[in-house]
Structure 1
Amino acid sequence: MIRLLLFLSYAGLRSHALLRFGCSQLVTERLDPLGTPGQVSPHVHQIIGGNAFNVTMDPALDIPSVATCTTCKFKEDKSNYWTAVMYFKHPNGTFTRVPQIPNHFVGSTDGGMTVYYVQPGGNRVSAFPKGFRMITGNPKVRLSSPSEPSDVGSWALSFRCWESPDPFGPSNTYPPGAGQYDTRHLPNKKCAGGIRSNVFFPSCWDGKNTDMPDHSSHTAYPLGSVNPNVGILGFAGEGCPSSHPVRVPHVLYETYWDTSKFNNLLTDTEWETEQPLVLSMGDPTGYGQHGDYLFGWEGDSLQRAMDNCMDGFGWPEACTELTVQTDEEMNSCRLATKVDENVGESEYIEALPGCNPLQNGPEPATTVEGCLAVSTTIASVATPV
């Protein structure tokens, strides 16, 4: 990570707004108020952020006034961030959830993720408005689109195979989403230091809609070609498209999955032949990686941070516009699960929660009919869906 921070400095981001902070786990369960509001989600998600998170997240909800705590480093940030969960498939066909561990230099967070807010190119950005939400990625995708330099969005989702947990090691040389250690698919080899997933959101907004039915068409990636050795962490491009003229912060999620604890269960050849990792929607490819974002910062706190917090390393303590909380405060903010089922946290499970058999593609994944799962009513018994 130090190499990454040095890159940010050399790239000129020292004079650009940058926040990088850890968030611990809020809850892990089958809820997705953007994809399936008011219902149980088809697959498991890991959620961080403010404890106002609920099954509906009505757009009219004043999140900062409802949330009483947040799992993120800044007390003003009551937003919610979530992604799919990673599982390990054992040789006997059972599954175990891959644990999340703290990223480099974010403290002692209890699982969770690292979140970035970046002001690319030194251009002033506008903070997201109240009620803003967006999704990037598609859980049904099972085939990669090539990372063409002119296709900025194709650089947004990737996995970093760490050769070691050493933050000074060669596999931590490149920025997320770039270089020889990142792939769009789940690594098909053992990663001695674990795996980090990288999820970048678009940084251009239409300036009108805080959400759309597909949760994505009101946003867009900037124009231009990406340097394959740099990726889109500091990518400013040639400006935003005319349909989405407003620059907003470039949001990035990093999730550190401790896959190394499973490395001794398979030989190198077995791992390469039948890659055992799978995302919670039954995706053994990784191409269906996706992320959800729901804005919930207090007042103008994010705008003030983007205007004034110019530390090139993004250390939370360097941003005096915001209030930093302790790891203990972050880790104590929790929500009780609402869906009564075993999601493989500490036990073996025979199938992925929900109707999620493995679908390798390359065709898009389809909904499976006739299997048993918790129904789409909170707290109900298992029924065929």
Structure 2
Amino acid sequence: MKGSSLSLALALAAPSQAYLRFGCATLTVQRLDPLVEPGAIPSAHLHQIVGGNAFNATMDPSVDVGQKATCTTCSFSEDFSNYWTAVMYFKARNGTYKRVPQYPNALLGNLKGGMTIYYLQESFNSNGNQKITAFKPDIMTRFPETAEFPKQPCPAGIMAIHHFPACWDGKNLDTPNHQDHMYNTVQGAFRPAGACPSSHPVRVPQVAFETMWDTAQFNDKSLWPEDGSQPFVWSYEDSLGYGTHGDYLFGWKGDALQRAMDSRPLFSDGLAIQSVDQANRCTIRNTVNEEIDGWLDSLPGRN
């Protein structure tokens, strides 16, 4: 997680073309986690989810979500994948909590909250002249970038960044800890990934996503703890920030992602793009009926 002024200089690093970069509006915010707690309604803590409307508490691995979903909140209309992270709350001096709103990257139009998604071949500037194999249907991955919450108010909010591993064992779509089938070569800050080891020889796209949290309304230090400590917490009651995590369930339709990875440069891949209004209209119904907004005495599911 990064405390940031959100200058987005990195995201704008310009004539780079060896990556996909697009926005996904919020699909839903509720306590569901088909990866860690499949079938649980509700799951232990709150997530914000973007992507295809096939998302539910139990994602059947035998069903291709790219075929099952009928709409997506992502800019690329063939991307029915789901991406989700924990939710940020503000804990006031009196011990009550309020959900921190999200806002989209200004370059992506008037999307409804959500995230900015990246698929890199090797780096912003190069495809590395190597074969990049698109993910298989229903592959799941989880990988955190851990850093603490900032100790002072951030005028433009906080941006959380999650990078995913870019090497696959070529056999398993998931493993008991949701990590061992993948190998992490990430060096941080979107730097080129290292070589894949023989245990995980298949190079897959380097996936990353950014979530922007609008903390400005909470910058009044009179609301912060009297001891001066920072007041933000993740929805599973982590006040340090070290446990931030992201999840990814592949759902691109057909061979759309493979076509993109084979394209040089990526920006000429010919993927279908939908309007911001179309992305914002995609949603799913709440299956967990509970209060998540307003001032709460405890975090959802944590009382």
State the TM-score, normalized to the length of structure 2. Answer: 0.91
Letter in 1 for 2:295: Y
Q: Name the CA distance, whole Å, in 2 between partners of 1:254 and 1:260.
A: 18
Tell me which residue corresponds to 2:112.
110
Cα distance, 1:258–1:211 mapped onto 2, change above 3 Å: same
Matched, 1:72 2:74: yes
Gaps of 5+ in 1: 138-156, 159-183, 312-317, 356-370, 372-385
Cα pair 1:222 1:241 within 8 Å, conserved: no
- The 3-state SS of whatever aligns with 2:31 is strand
Deviation sequence 1:83-130 (CA, Å, 0-9, x none): 000000112111110000011411111000110000115233100011
C-alpha RMSD of matched pairs (Å): 1.9
Q: Which residue of 2 aligns with 1:246?
A: 202
| Conserved 8 A contact 1:23-1:48 | yes
Q: Corresponding residue for 1:49?
A: 51
How is 1:249-260 mapped onto 2 (pairs within 5 angstroms)? 249-260=205-216
Q: How far apart in 2 are the matches of 1:291 and 1:29? A: 15
Q: Secondary structure at the match of 1:4?
A: coil
Partner of 1:33: 34
Matching of residues 190-205 of structure 1 within 5 Å? 190-205=153-168
Partner of 1:21: 22
Q: Retained in 2: the 8 A contact 1:189–1:271?
A: no
Query: Is the 8 Å Cα contact of residues 119 and 125 (structure 1) preserved in structure 2?
Result: yes
Cα deviation digits, residues 176-235 of structure 1 (max 9, x gap): xxxxxxxx1011110001000000000011011011111111001128xx4xxxx34132
**How big is the shift at 1:321?**
2.1
- The percent identity for this pair of structures is 48
Which residue number corresponds to residue 352 of structure 1? 299
User: Quick one: distance in 1 between partners of 2:246 and 2:44?
Assistant: 15
Q: TM-score, normalised by structure 1?
A: 0.72
| Structure 2 gap ranges (5+) | 1-6
Give the corresponding residue for 1:87: 89
The answer to which of 196-205 and 99-108 deviates more is 99-108
- Aligned equivalents of 1:194, 1:52: Cα separation in 2: 31
Look at both structures and tell me which one has the larger radius of gyration over its CA atoms. Answer: 1
SS at match of 2:159: strand
User: How many Å separate the matches in 2 of 1:214 and 1:267?
Assistant: 39
Aligned AA for 2:193? A
Q: CA deviation at 1:320?
A: 4.4
Matched AA of 2:37: T
Q: Tell me the equivalent position of 2:193.
A: 236
- Structure with the bigger percentage of helix: 1
Aligned match of 1:133: 140
Note if 1:264 corresponds to 2:220: yes
Measured at CA, do residues 107 and 6 of structure 1 come closer, stay the same or move farther in structure 2, by a change above 3 Å? Answer: closer
Check conservation: 1:186, 1:286, Cα contact below 8 A: yes
Distance 1:31 1:2, change over 3 A: closer
Specify the alignment match of 1:302 in structure 2: 257
Evaluate the alpha carbon distance shift between residue 54 and residue 2 of structure 1 in structure 2; reply closer, same or farther with a 3 A threshold.
closer
Contact 1:308 1:321 in 2 (8 A): no
Q: Partner amino acid for 2:241?
A: G
Corresponding residue for residue 149 of structure 1? none
CA distance in structure 2 between the aligned counterparts of 1:328 and 1:41, rounded to whole angstroms: 30
Shift of 1:278: 0.2
- Number of equivalences: 291
Distance in 1 between residues matched to 2:31 and 2:82, nearest whole Å: 15
Q: 1:185 aligns with which of 140, 144, 148?
A: 148
Give the counterpart letter for 1:326 in structure 2: S
Q: Distance in 2 between matches of 1:257 and 1:331?
A: 18
**8 Å contact kept, 1:190–1:271:** no
Tell me: CA distance 1:96–1:301, structure 2 relative to 1, closer, same or farther (3 Å).
same
